[in-house]
């Protein structure tokens, strides 16, 4: 199968909206949404995979088998993912998850296809498109860290993990947006702007690896890489129904990742399945002379993640519920309840669940974070080692205004550090040792395989609002591995994750526990805003009509439902009575055992024709899909409304 270049259209066609869109849908006109070109990078191509192979939600083993069977090529996979990026990153829900695409991706994929034909596959990542967070050095692409100060900076070589991925045959399709310089958890930057959550584009995607999280959730690649200094892999994983591991400090090298705090920084993948995560980890962990932390592997066997996957891993496992991290605020209750429900399911799968306390917990993590103490100096060292770096320090960035205003306060506080060898660093290091000893001792005493708590205690905040509820610090302080496991969805359709924390270098055991939960309960659900493409393009809105009665009057409402943007376009036409007798049309949501009030007003008094657009929130969209939204016509003859008419999307 070949992509048809003649089908490619750059930019967007003239907009059909309001009445024009409704008329077009009513007459059966097929509307082809515009495919925006992301940040000057490769255009997206319309692609339909052969014999039912589809990149939407496809796992790495699925894609690898399709290539092995000759049903698809690596080039076609690149094209298919680029088509999804074109449809949904700048168009549709406008996730804004990608900073730039790799202009050499198709050529690299073609070379790997040729190599496969001649010598076979290198391994499970051969020809698989992947995404890198834009703080990973990629030798032939700029590395910006989300900062306009570094937007054109080309690093001299690949980061350690990027090099390992290239050796494994992966194709880097592009680089994802991130919270600027990795210093936050809502993913906004001066280069990439604000990334949106595909489960609800009005909400943030977590961070700082929120671009990777959103892109992987939306199937813009098979798997993606992030970094975690305090929650930056795990929070986006929780917000996107993904698996994300903060590995034992030293299991993976941080060489070539723009630092935030070299003591706390780790790098690693986020994935839709535990198996995909295991494949990504196996390819990128290991010793590296450039990262002293990886010396911990010198006398220890390197974990083998795929080999350790075990669907029965929960049977007989002892899991300690760290109740202190569940929170007691009203906003914490929803996630706490869902994590408790997930623990009940783990118990059903054979795990023993016990509530526990860690001695001295109230002060255990206090003063243990090093981000504010190390960032200024670590960034100076990184820039000094990068030829032709456009700036040399955090002060340069601040003095020239090369940052997003949302970060000004936190960046200036870091820039105020006066000494590299601040006494507070030594005290923090001592506290970190104390915390690690206390946690491991508790696990040993109670014979626990893992500790568990919500990855983040609160739902994804609306864009522009602060994000609270992070439980990131325990793993970041102790250096112990922590895995975010998808557990389900809130009533608003927002994902929730639980975090499993384990002993040093027991990362593979943690993932085995997550894999067992996944196999037993299948928590993965794709976001509705980024559905499968149809012949390489986003699905067009669905048209349907409803007629509501009110005495002698009738209101015919023509709808166009755009599942991608959760927008309900409508046009109302009245008949049967004079305009003066029309009071309006209301959209209601049904409530248990009673009629719900007006959710949206579609028209007011005295009109013969009314039109508009409604963007439904996650709860309202779910109600529409369930058939819980109703219309009611109000007239002078039927002032309390006529019969309620259900909206039913075909």
How high is the pLDDT of residue 350? Answer: 98
Q: What span, in angstroms and rounded, lies between the C-alpha atoms of 503 and 365?
A: 17
The rounded distance, in Å, linking the Cα atoms of 610 and 571 is 6
Helix (H, G, I), strand (E, B) or coil at 251: coil
Which tokens is 585 given? 């049309």
641's tokens: 């409304």
The C-alpha atoms of residue 563 and residue 542 are separated, in whole angstroms, by: 8
Q: Choose, from 3, 97, 133, 219, the residue flagged as catalytic.
A: 133
- Cα–Cα distance, 80 to 612 (Å, whole number): 34
Q: Which member of 97, 176, 190, 208 is catalytic?
A: 208
Per domain, the residue ranges of the chain are 74-521, 542-646
* Whether the Cβ atoms of residue 305 and residue 277 lie closer than 8 Å to each other: yes
CA atoms within 13 A on the CB side of 231: 29
Residue 590 near residue 630 (C-beta atoms within 8 A): yes
Report d(CA 144, CA 192) in Å as an integer.
10
Cα–Cα distance, 450 to 150 (Å, whole number): 40
In the prediction, which pLDDT does 11 show? 30
CA pair distance 538, 562, nearest whole angstrom: 10
Q: Which of these is catalytic: 209, 232, 368, 475?
A: 232
pLDDT at 49: 45
The answer to whether domain 74-521 has CATH 3.90.1300.10 is yes
Is residue 436 a contact partner of residue 475, using CB atoms and an 8 Å limit? no
- Residues in the chain, pLDDT under 70: 1-53, 593
> Cα–chain-centroid distance for residue 541?
25
603 assigned to active site: no
| pLDDT of 108 | 98
Over the stretch 603-629, which tens digit does the pLDDT of each residue have?
999 877 899 999 988 788 888 988 999
What is the reported pTM?
0.90
CA-to-CA distance for 455 and 457, rounded, in angstroms? 7
| Residues 98 and 38: beta-carbon distance below 8 Å | yes
Q: What kind of fold does domain 542-646 have according to CATH?
A: Immunoglobulin-like (2.60.40)
Q: Is 133 a catalytic residue?
A: yes
Continuous segment of H or E residues that includes residue 430: helix 423-445
With residue 508 as reference, give the H or E element that holds it: helix 507-521
Q: Dump pLDDT digits (tens) for 367-424.
A: 999 999 999 999 999 999 999 999 999 999 999 999 999 999 999 999 999 899 889 9
- Alpha-carbon distance values, 401 to 147, 149, 210 (Å): 11, 9, 24
Q: What is the dihedral of CA 455, 461, 465, 467, to 10 degrees?
A: 0
pLDDT at 194: 98
253 is catalytic: no
DSSP character for 426? H
Spell out the residues 6+ positions from residue 418 whose beta carbon is closer than 8 angstroms to its own: none
Residue 156's Cβ-count burial label (10 Å; 0-12, 13-18, 19+) is exposed
Task: For the beta carbon of residue 49, count every other beta carbon within 10 angstroms.
Answer: 21
Please return the burial class of 416, using the count of CB atoms within 10 Å of its CB with bins 0-12, 13-18 and 19+.
exposed
The Cα 247–Cα 477 span in angstroms is 13
């Amino acid at each position: 199968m070949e992509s048809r270049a003649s089908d490619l259209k750059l930019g967007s066609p003239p907009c059909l909206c309001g009445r024009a869109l409704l008329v077009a849908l009513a007459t059966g006109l097929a509307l082809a949404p515009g495919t925006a070109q992301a940040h000057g990078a490769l255009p997206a191509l319309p692609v339909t995979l052969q014999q039912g192979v589809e990149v939407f939600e496809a796992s790495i083993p699925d894609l690898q088998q399709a290539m092995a069977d000759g049903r698809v090529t690596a080039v076609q996979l690149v094209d298919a993912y680029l088509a999804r990026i074109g449809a949904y990153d700048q168009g549709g829900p406008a996730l804004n998850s990608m900073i730039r695409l790799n202009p050499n991706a198709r050529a690299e994929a073609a070379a790997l296809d040729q190599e496969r034909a001649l010598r076979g596959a290198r391994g499970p990542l051969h020809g698989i498109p992947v995404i890198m967070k834009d703080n990973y050095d990629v030798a032939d692409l700029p590395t910006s860290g989300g900062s306009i100060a570094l937007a054109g900076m080309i690093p001299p070589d690949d980061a350690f993990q990027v090099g390992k991925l290239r050796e494994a045959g992966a194709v880097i399709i592009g680089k994802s947006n991130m919270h600027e310089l990795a210093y936050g958890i809502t993913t906004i930057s001066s280069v990439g702007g604000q990334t949106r959550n595909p489960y609800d584009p009005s909400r943030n995607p977590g961070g700082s690896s929120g671009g990777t999280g959103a892109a992987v959730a939306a199937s813009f690649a098979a798997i993606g890489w992030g970094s975690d200094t305090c929650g930056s892999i795990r929070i986006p994983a929780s917000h996107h129904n993904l698996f994300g591991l903060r590995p034992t400090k030293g299991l993976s090298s941080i060489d070539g990742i723009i630092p935030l705090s070299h003591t706390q920084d780790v790098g690693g993948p986020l994935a839709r399945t535990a198996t995909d995560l295991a494949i990504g980890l196996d390819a990128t962990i290991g010793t590296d002379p450039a990262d002293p932390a990886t010396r911990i592997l010198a006398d220890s066997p390197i974990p083998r993640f795929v080999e350790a996957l075990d669907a029965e891993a929960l049977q007989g496992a002892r899991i300690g519920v760290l109740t202190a991290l569940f929170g007691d605020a009203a906003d914490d209750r929803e996630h706490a309840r869902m994590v408790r429900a997930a623990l009940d399911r783990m118990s059903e799968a054979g795990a023993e669940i016990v509530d526990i306390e860690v001695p001295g917990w109230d002060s255990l993590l206090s003063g243990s974070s090093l981000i504010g103490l190390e960032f200024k100096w670590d960034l100076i060292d990184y820039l000094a080692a990068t030829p032709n770096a456009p700036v040399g320090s955090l002060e340069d960035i601040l003095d020239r205004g090369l940052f997003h205003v949302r970060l000004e306060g936190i960046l200036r506080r870091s820039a105020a550090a006066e000494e590299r060898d601040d006494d507070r660093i030594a005290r923090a290091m001592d506290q970190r040792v104390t915390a690690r000893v206390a946690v491991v001792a508790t696990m040993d005493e109670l014979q626990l395989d893992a500790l568990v708590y919500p990855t983040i205690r609160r739902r994804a905040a609306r864009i522009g609002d602060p994000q609270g509820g992070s439980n990131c610090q325990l793993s970041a302080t102790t250096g112990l591995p922590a895995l975010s496991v998808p557990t389900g969805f809130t009533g608003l359709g927002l994902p929730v994750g639980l975090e499993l924390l384990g002993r040093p270098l027991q990362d593979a055991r943690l993932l085995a526990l997550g894999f067992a939960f996944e196999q037993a309960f299948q928590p993965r659900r794709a976001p509705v805003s980024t559905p499968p493409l149809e012949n390489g393009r986003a699905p067009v809105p669905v048209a349907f009509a409803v007629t509501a009665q009110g005495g002698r009057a009738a209101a015919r409402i023509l709808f166009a439902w755009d599942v991608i943007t959760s927008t309900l376009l409508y046009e109302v036409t009245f008949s049967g009575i004079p305009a003066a007798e029309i009071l309006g049309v209301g959209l209601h949501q049904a409530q248990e055992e009673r009629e719900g009030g007006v959710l949206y007003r579609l028209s007011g008094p005295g009109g013969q024709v009314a039109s508009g657009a409604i963007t439904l929130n996650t709860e309202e969209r779910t109600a529409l899909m369930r058939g819980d939204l109703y219309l009611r016509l109000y007239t002078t003859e039927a002032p309390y409304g006529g019969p309620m008419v259900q909206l039913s999307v075909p």
